[in-house]
Structure 1
């Protein structure tokens, strides 16, 4: 049997199973006790999203806002997934997310999660931590997730587009249903004042405006020059070409299949959805999106 040397270091695919009512793979549950017992600090900032909704983008923005001027070597020598650790991730042969967070030298600690709101460790609420949630319209989110699952070996095999489309509608995705995720966090925002809920489409439309809102929420006041520098750094093409931001050094991803940062556009779903799929999706969406105050844009 011949072995492809490029594939030798890639981990086995994660298999979906039900975990507290949410679809998961073992890569996100192996360290569960340490995740649930994680001790948050009052100045921690939790960046929460459904997968493929702009997590890395907002993580990078926050990292630059807090440490862009003072810790310049961070930007050139430490990948973003180590600067903003993924709390519940337990990758093969490397440190768990909780260990990475506990070893962070910076303050505040920037922490990433994809957990639905009901599974977030309770110490974040007890410490009254600030949280930034980023939501992306379901159609583009689905397309991005499809390409991501193709190239990330820790994810379940995506299958063909038609199967994946159905799985997404059924909520059989890692971290569960998109509908439950975006709605759960939106509902939490009504009772938890330290939660800033952002939309991917707004960030695409006017990144500067959304950074201003973030600064307002976090009590930051960067100079005009600092803001200009950050805006340049976080343009999609600049991030895509930045090895410290584009996950090209992350071991479980096969960039020959797809880049981690693919297009970063609103409306790419139109190249994937058939007319029939679009109609089916819209019908399903009407049934599941009951809260009229949560509105998404599928084009801008």
Structure 2
């Protein structure tokens, strides 16, 4: 089997981890089903949390009782991943008999499954404040076995400089996020933008928005309350940490943790780039500064 851990550039995007050029291109050219539901996120923006929420919404709350990271694989294949048994995420997806299938990727629009655009597949996009994203990514590089060999930063400041430059896996958060927000705004019929911060602050409304977008049976407020409990950080940690190899998946799951950790001056650097990218008048700015 070929080396799973690679670092390469594909169509201008830096890729590091358990991926290959072949698995990434298979993601871009993925041929799916009309009922497929895609989840698209930049790393460390609430992916696992949203996956758990969607499993509860689409497949039922009972599945969340003992759901850990390995069990997530057949429920929610990670398309560009090269798994340890030699299968790519696309191959795992093609083995699934679930209807609908739910499929995860971290790709920017140019490398995401192109049928999302050409065939109008349902696509949920997650966005998170770049400062919290960077702080979580900093820890992820040091704890995820698939990324540790690529960690070359000399402390937090050095990593934040790399993050600002887009010199991390999946490239610039700003380019990635702006590109996907533009897609969501241009094609709301099949793209739904979810903010990590709204999951925290408006869980019920966010779940209702997801249910409406997916055109499935409404959930009662009581069921949504159970879903919130089953997908709490504490609950997910207890499930995922049953496998020592997956303990890095769930972090603190908090908002504004950057305020305790960012070195002096770095908040201003992030805000400057955010305003340059989105423009002062963009309503999304308040989520990212």
Q: Judging changes above 3 Å, is the alpha-carbon distance between structure 1 residues 250 and 105 closer, same or farther for their aligned structure 2 residues?
A: farther
Structure 1: segments with no counterpart, 5+ residues: 1-10
Q: Judging changes above 3 Å, is the alpha-carbon distance between structure 1 residues 154 and 78 closer, same or farther for their aligned structure 2 residues?
A: closer
Helix, strand or coil at the partner of 1:132: strand
Shift of 1:90: 1.0
The structure with the greater share of residues assigned to helix is 2
Name the TM-score, length of structure 1 as normaliser: 0.84
Number of residue-to-residue matches in the alignment = 280
Shift of 1:210: 0.7
After TM superposition, list the pairs within 5 Å mapping 1:91-170 onto structure 2: 91-155=83-147, 156-159=150-153, 160-170=155-165
Q: Judging changes above 3 Å, is the alpha-carbon distance between structure 1 residues 78 and 222 closer, same or farther for their aligned structure 2 residues?
A: farther
1:83 to 70, 75, 79: 75
Match of 1:279 in 2: 268
Deviates more, 1:138-147 or 1:283-292: 283-292
Q: Judging changes above 3 Å, is the alpha-carbon distance between structure 1 residues 283 and 122 closer, same or farther for their aligned structure 2 residues?
A: closer
Work out whether 1:208 is the aligned partner of 2:204: yes
Work out whether 1:249 is the aligned partner of 2:243: yes
1:197 to 193, 198, 201: 193
2:34 to 36, 42, 48: 42
CA distance in 2, matches of 1:168, 1:202: 24
Match of 1:18 in 2: 9
Please say if residues 52 and 145 of structure 1, whose CA atoms lie closer than 8 Å, have aligned partners that are also in contact: yes
Please say if residues 132 and 197 of structure 1, whose CA atoms lie closer than 8 Å, have aligned partners that are also in contact: yes
Please say if residues 51 and 76 of structure 2, whose CA atoms lie closer than 8 Å, have aligned partners that are also in contact: yes
Q: Judging changes above 3 Å, is the alpha-carbon distance between structure 1 residues 77 and 275 closer, same or farther for their aligned structure 2 residues?
A: closer
Deviates more, 1:221-230 or 1:202-211: 221-230
Structure 2: segments with no counterpart, 5+ residues: none
Q: Which runs of 4+ in 1 moved over 6 A?
A: none
Shift of 1:13: 5.6
Q: What is the alpha-carbon root mean square deviation over aligned residues?
A: 2.5
